Each structure stands twice: as C-alpha cells, then as structure tokens.
C-alpha cells in the first residue's frame, strides 16, 4: 500500500470539540501549552526527545491525550518511564519524520495505508480515521515544525520477546478455566511438549468463573483461562491471597460466539438480538412464535452453564440488552433449558434435537459445520472477518491471566506464557478462532515484559 496518511474529512469537525488550534512554536511548544498533553510532554522529557521535536523537522505527530495515557494500567506507565529505550520506541512510533502530512492531502483514499514512522516500523491508518485502532479525534493542529493529529489511545510498536527453548524448561504448570479458551491453551500446551518440554501441564476445563475461583480464591492454579475480562471482585480476591496476586492480563484471541441449530433446520436464516433474548427467556416457545412461516414446534434450548464466561457474555450482550436486569434470571428460568459447562455436550445436544438452538464459542462450531448451521445475527454471519472488523454482534476477546509472583516462584510459567504468545496467532487460526489485532498482540507482549520485570524485583 502507498505510504500516505488517510483521514476522513468528517474528522475535522472534531477539532473544535477537543479544543486545540494552530499555534506559534514547535511541536513541543504546542504540546506544552495544552494541558491535555501534559502526560505526553512528561514522557517526551523522560525519553530525552525534547530537542528532537524542537528541531527543524518537519514532523507529523499522532499525539495521545492525557485520557489515553490514563487508560493504561499504572504499572504500564511506571514500566515505560523506567525503561527509556522502550519509552523512546513507543514515542517515536507516534512520529513521522521528514513530512508534515495534512489531512486534506489524501482525503477519500479507500484502502488502509501503512505509514513509516521515526521508530522504524509502520502504523496502519484506515479509511475510518483510525491509526493502529486509535481514533483520530482532532486533525491539522499546526506548529512551526510540523502538524499534530490527536488520538485517543497510546499505540505500541513491534515488541520482541526473548526466545524460549522448551527443552530447557523444568517444572509443572497448572491452568484451568474457560471451556472456550481450552482448545487454544490445549493446542499451545501440545506444541510446547512437542518442542521439548518434559514437564507436566494441566489444562482443566471448568468455566471462566470457576477458573477465577481456583486462581484468585484457592490460589491453586498458575494460569486462568477466561472468555471475559476479570472482574473487580475477583481481582480483590486475588489481592487478598497470601502471598497476594495482582493478575497480569494477556489478550490472546478473538472469538465469535456461534448461535447454532441442527443442519436439518433450514428455516432459521436470521435472528435479531431481540428475538434471541425472547427465545432464551422462553417468551417465544415455538419456532412459529418467532416467525409464523416457521414450524409450530417447541424450541429446545441449550446454554453453557452459569459458571461459564460464555454464559456471562451472552447474558450481557443479549439478555440484559433486551430485558435489562431481568435478563439473567430469565434465561436461568427458561422452561426446559439445558445447561452444561462442557461445550461438547451442548454440541451433541443441539445435533440430536431437530428443533433446538444453542450457543457456544466459534471453535466448537467449526468442527461441526456438516451437522450444525450457524444462524446469522442481525443479518451478519459469524466469521473471522466479521469478528475482527466488529460488525458481528457477538464477537468477544479471549484471555489468559497469570501473576508476577507466580513468574518469580515458578519461572516455567513465565516461559510458557512467552511461548504461548509466540505461537498464539497460529494457534487461534488452528482451533477456529481469530488472531488479535497488532495492538492487542503487542499489549500482551508488553504485559509479559512487565510481569517478568516485577518478578525480578521480588
């Protein structure tokens, strides 16, 4: 792709809202004069880049706001400020040297565009006005040596982790949690063994909630597999352990939740979120209640159990969205509904019941496409492309969690998480999920560096 910057004309309307305007002085002068850039200025000063950005240029700078920095965990900010080389890489990744690229120069270009940065890597700018997934919220803030475009997230450059030799890794590793993440972790564990690891890896499939119980309450596991983000009460439980745990979060893949019917069901060709909620609450008991042209047959419901992150996600994205606070109780009390923490049981149940419907992680559907049909939701099919671009209504992130204290006591766990991140993009595709975005992947790599750094000081 051509190395041009693409910003939609509509973004110019955001400029007055943010409250910045063209000013006299250099890029640094403009940033210093605006309180919304105080954290960025502090980072530039810590990295020793003031003189560079005061020089002739010209520069194009994608400037994160204070709110963008505040969205990062405090330990991430502390780690970057203490590691000048990495901080410099991060900041120069926000800078294009040698050219002040104005938004109107290339308005209307249809395809995503790679732009080379002062750091040496490239940032991806897409036609929707995003840079590496960060939204551009103001454009064309002029300075004497360049131009600033304001973004709402800090973006990360490529990160390289040390290579791990599984042959040299000793000691056991215990993981448990989400049935949705199970195929992913199990695949990585198998590859780790195939590459020479001779220890024992336990991968238990008990549901996200039960996984956090074992990780944060019992303190029994080294890694918790989760199909939803950890909750504050679970973090509090982790911190109450002796020794306390401060969960490290690794975003490892994207899943599209599949709503499925048996392959003999050729009539359910689309469902809305509203219909889905009313089906799983039992309000719509027969298929003909959903659509008069569909069979007058009772709908058999299959759902992951209440300890499952998949269940939690479905309640949030479907039941609560339509029924409000009554959503969770409505699905739990739906007439005749069958629950299981094992997605394989749900697959078998839907396949065996001609007028059934169920939902689970996309990976469990992929292996059963000859026996199950995935129902489009709001007219959008469940697919990798639709999950990654955000158009499919039931797409969600998948995680693994560990802790720096565990890394310190059991370095084999840190090695395994490193290995996990090195192969997870391949693993996601292999088991039927979708790789994270570049920024999601780099954020997980940075979290590993932070965990190892914290472990080294324990």
Per-residue pLDDT band for 16 (boundaries 50, 70, 90) equals: very low
Among 151, 185, 203, the domain-final residue is 151
Q: Quickly state the pLDDT bin for 9 (edges 50, 70, 90).
A: very low
Mean pLDDT (the chain, rounded) = 90
User: Does residue 392 fall inside a structural domain?
Assistant: yes
Are 118 and 205 in a shared domain? Answer: no
Segment 2-26 mean pLDDT = 43
Asked, for residue 106, whether it belongs to a domain, the answer is yes
Shared domain check, 192 and 75: no
d(CA 248, CA 76): 11
Q: Exposure string (b/e) for 381-412, b if CB count within 10 Å is 16 or more? A: ebbbebbbeeebbbbbbbbbbbbbbbbbebeb
Could you tell me the CATH number of the domain that includes residue 144? Answer: 2.30.180.10
Specify which residues 360 forms β-bridges with: 258
pTM: 0.81
Higher pLDDT, residue 397 or 214: 214
* Domain region containing 298: 160-458
449 within a domain of the structure (yes/no) = yes
Please indicate, yes or no, whether residues 134 and 246 belong to a single structural domain of this protein: no
Same domain, 139 and 216: no
Based on the fold, state whether residues 142 and 173 are members of the same structural domain: no
- Does a structural domain hold residue 239? yes
Contact 406, 417 (CB under 8 A): no
pLDDT at 15: 37
Instruction: Specify the pLDDT at position 110.
Output: 61
Cis peptide bond prior to 256, omega within 30° of 0: no
Q: Is the residue at 420 inside a domain? A: yes
Does 24 map to a domain?
yes
Structure confidence at residue 299 as a pLDDT band (50, 70, 90): very high
Percent of the chain surpassing pLDDT 70: 93
What is the pLDDT, as a whole number, of residue 350? 97
First and final C-alpha spacing in the chain: 47
- In this structure, the answer to whether residues 407 and 307 fall within a common structural domain is yes
Question: Of 71-80, 195-204, 373-382, 429-438, where does mean pLDDT reach its minimum?
Answer: 429-438
The mean pLDDT value for 127-140 works out to 84
If asked whether residues 316 and 171 sit together in one domain, one would say yes
Q: What residues have CB less than 8 Å from 81, skipping those under 6 apart?
A: 43, 46, 87
Q: How many domains does the chain divide into? A: 2
Name the pLDDT band for 109 (thresholds 50, 70, 90).
Answer: low
State residue 150's pLDDT score.
92
Domain end residue (candidates: 151, 173, 189): 151
> Is the same domain home to 85 and 183?
no
Same domain for 96 and 186, yes or no, is: no
Contacts of 328 (CB under 8 A, 6+ apart): 315, 319, 320
Same domain? 118 vs 188 = no
pLDDT, mean of residues 154-170? 96
Say yes or no: 420 and 375 in one domain: yes
Nearest C-alpha neighbor of 309 from the set 251, 193, 227, 250: 227
Q: Is residue 2 part of a domain?
A: no
Candidates 107, 140, 142; CA nearest to 125 is: 107
Return the higher-pLDDT residue of 3 and 295: 295
Percent of the chain with pLDDT over 90: 75
- Residue 66 included in any domain: yes
Q: What is the pLDDT of residue 10?
A: 33
Domain at 296, CATH number: 3.40.190.10
Structure tokens at 56: 């002739």
Last residue of a domain, one of 121, 151, 181: 151
Shared domain for 140 and 167, answered yes or no, is no
């Amino acid at each position: 792709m051509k190395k041009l910057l693409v910003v939609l004309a509509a973004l110019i309307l955001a400029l007055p809202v943010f409250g910045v305007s063209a000013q006299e002085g250099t890029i640094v002068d403009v940033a210093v004069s605006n309180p919304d850039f105080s954290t960025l200025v502090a980072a530039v000063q810590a990295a020793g880049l003031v003189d560079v950005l005061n020089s002739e240029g010209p520069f194009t700078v994608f400037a994160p706001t204070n709110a963008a920095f505040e969205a990062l965990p405090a330990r991430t900010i502390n780690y970057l400020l203490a590691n000048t080389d990495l901080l410099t890489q991060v900041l120069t990744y926000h800078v294009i040297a040698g050219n002040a690229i104005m938004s109107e120069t290339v308005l209307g270009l249809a395809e995503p565009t790679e732009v080379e940065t002062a750091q040496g890597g490239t940032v991806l700018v897409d036609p929707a006005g995003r840079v590496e997934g960060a939204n551009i919220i103001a454009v064309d803030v002029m300075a004497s040596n360049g131009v600033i475009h304001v973004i709402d997230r800090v973006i990360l450059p490529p990160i390289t982790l040390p290579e791990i030799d599984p042959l040299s890794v000793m000691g056991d590793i215990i993981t448990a949690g989400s049935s949705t993440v199970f195929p992913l972790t199990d695949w990585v564990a198998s590859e780790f063994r195939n590459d020479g690891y001779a220890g024992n890896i336990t991968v238990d499939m008990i549901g996200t909630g039960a996984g956090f119980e074992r990780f944060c309450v019992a303190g029994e596991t080294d890694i918790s597999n989760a199909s939803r983000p950890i909750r504050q009460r679970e973090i509090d439980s982790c911190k109450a352990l002796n020794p306390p745990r401060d969960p490290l979060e690794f975003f490892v893949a994207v899943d599209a939740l599949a709503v499925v019917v048996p392959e003999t069901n050729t009539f359910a060709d689309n469902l809305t979120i509203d219909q889905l909620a009313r089906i799983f609450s039992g309000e719509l008991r027969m298929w003909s209640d959903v659509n008069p042209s569909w069979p007058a047959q009772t709908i058999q419901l299959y759902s992951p159990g209440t300890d499952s992150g998949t269940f939690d996600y479905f309640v949030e994205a479907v039941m609560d969205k339509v029924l409000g606070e009554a959503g969770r109780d409505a699905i739990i009390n739906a007439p005749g509904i069958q629950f299981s923490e094992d997605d394989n049981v749900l697959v078998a149940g839907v396949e065996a019941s001609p007028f059934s419907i169920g939902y689970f992680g996309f990976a469990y559907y992929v292996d059963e496409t000859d026996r199950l049909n995935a129902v489009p939701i709001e007219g959008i099919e469940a697919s990798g492309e639709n999950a990654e671009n955000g158009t499919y209504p039931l797409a969600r992130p998948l995680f693994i969690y560990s802790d720096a204290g565990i890394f310190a006591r059991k370095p084999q766990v840190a090695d395994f998480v490193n290995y996990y991140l090195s192969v997870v993009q391949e693993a996601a595709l292999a088991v039927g999920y979708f790789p994270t975005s570049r920024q999601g992947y780099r954020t997980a790599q940075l979290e590993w560096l932070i965990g190892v750094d914290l472990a080294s000081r324990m």
